[in-house]
Amino acid sequence: MLSRGVVSNLQSMLELLPIDLLERVNREGGLQIADLLDLISAPKDYTVYDPTPICDVDVVNSDMAALGDESLRTGETAVCIFAPEESLQRIPGPELSLLSLKLLQCSTATCVWVVTTPSVYDEVQSHLKGLIGVSPRVVPQYETFLLEVNSRLKLNDNAPSMVSCGTGDVIPALTHSGLLDSFGGRHIAIVNAMNALGAPVSAMVGEHITGKKPVTWEVAPREMADETPVLCEHDGIVQLVEVNRLSGVHKNAFKFTDTGCCVIRSDLQWSSVQWRWDRVRRNRDHSFSVAYQRSITDLCATFQTRFLASPRDSRYLMVDGQLGPRDVPRIFQAI
């Protein structure tokens, strides 16, 4: 537990900030400043002790593609793209960003939403206007303060650095935007733009519709260098867990990892989700910082989830840095 002086110093720094900046952080559905201070003064322990790796998962049945195509085409299933600021990165060769690639991969869908970082909201809007035939609804996610490792505000040109609250923002952002209330469909296919091969596979949507479980989640065979969540059983629940929360079992013991693609029912009781605000360590240009963020994989721990495996070569290319020329053929083979 940190000393009261650390929290008091941070609170004093926050009190000097402009009111409009504080209101941005305190948006309903995000990490409230009071809760941030509580997390710092009394850290939560989200360690997962001795989880059991899941080694056998059903595969996606391609026979379900026709049902999924119809659901996407009619708008019964909407597509939501999680698009952090890095998703504007250009792919070598073609005039495509990771975000525009994702829209190309979602061409079957008639209802598309994009949840993006507030810092690039206007840029994303302009980017999408330049794409012919594309008119998705853009929704801002939430922001929090980037902190030094000693929990002081991290400053950039004397202004506090901001960071998004993570992939777990998708559901609260859609809820508080009113989109879920006005949505006339029944399912939402969520994809992460940072997985260059991730897309709402029609067969997986079909599997979700026939499977009758609240959540259907895609996983792929894991490799040693992967840092995405792993599939395991913990407290009697099969779920995805971030590798930094594992204890007692080495991450390389796990066989499957998260592709960032899932399909969920649109009428779930979102208030029952207990979001875990993890203290995430970041390293940018050898400068260390921390931020409190949540993960969409918390849905797996709350709602019954069916996990389906897809081939890694065609479904997993998580971008952490720059795409290389050798990645491009894989991307376009999978479209």
User: pLDDT tens for residues 18-36?
Assistant: 999 999 999 999 999 999 9
Per-residue model confidence (pLDDT) at position 3: 58
pLDDT above 90: residue 228: yes
User: pLDDT-derived band of residue 323, with 50, 70 and 90 as boundaries?
Assistant: confident
User: pLDDT-derived band of residue 80, with 50, 70 and 90 as boundaries?
Assistant: very high
Q: How many CA atoms lie within 13 A of 252 on its CB side?
A: 2
**Phi, psi (rounded to 5 degrees) for 230:** -110, 155
Higher pLDDT, 326 or 73: 73
Q: To the nearest 10°, report the CA torsion of 255, 259, 263, 267.
A: 90
Per-residue model confidence (pLDDT) at position 222: 98
pLDDT above 60: residue 1: no
pTM of the model: 0.94
What DSSP designation does 248 have? Answer: S
Per-residue model confidence (pLDDT) at position 238: 98
Per-residue model confidence (pLDDT) at position 283: 82
**Distance between CA atoms of 258 and 275, rounded to whole angstroms?**
18
| Structural domains for the chain | 4-333 (3.90.550.10)
Q: What is the mean pLDDT of residues 192-201?
A: 92
Kindly state the percentage of the chain with pLDDT values over 70.
Answer: 96
**Phi, psi (rounded to 5 degrees) for 248:** 95, -15
User: pLDDT-derived band of residue 132, with 50, 70 and 90 as boundaries?
Assistant: low
**Distance between CA atoms of 229 and 297, rounded to whole angstroms?**
8
Kindly state the percentage of the chain with pLDDT values over 90.
Answer: 81
**What type of residue is 101?**
L
Per-residue model confidence (pLDDT) at position 5: 78
- Which token pair is 86? 């890095």
Per-residue model confidence (pLDDT) at position 2: 53
**Distance between CA atoms of 296 and 119, rounded to whole angstroms?**
20
- Which token pair is 47? 């360690």
Per-residue model confidence (pLDDT) at position 72: 97
For tokens 């929290």, the residue is 7
Q: What is the pLDDT of residues 245-283, one digit of tens each?
A: 999 999 999 999 999 999 999 999 999 999 999 999 988
Q: What is the pLDDT of residues 134-177, one digit of tens each?
A: 689 999 999 999 999 999 999 988 899 999 999 999 999 999 99
Q: What is the largest CA-CA distance in the chain?
A: 61
Per-residue model confidence (pLDDT) at position 131: 75
**Distance between CA atoms of 146 and 178, rounded to whole angstroms?**
28
No. of H helices and E strands in the chain? 12, 19
**Distance between CA atoms of 34 and 7, rounded to whole angstroms?**
11
Beta bridge partners of 233: 52, 238
**What type of residue is 42?**
A
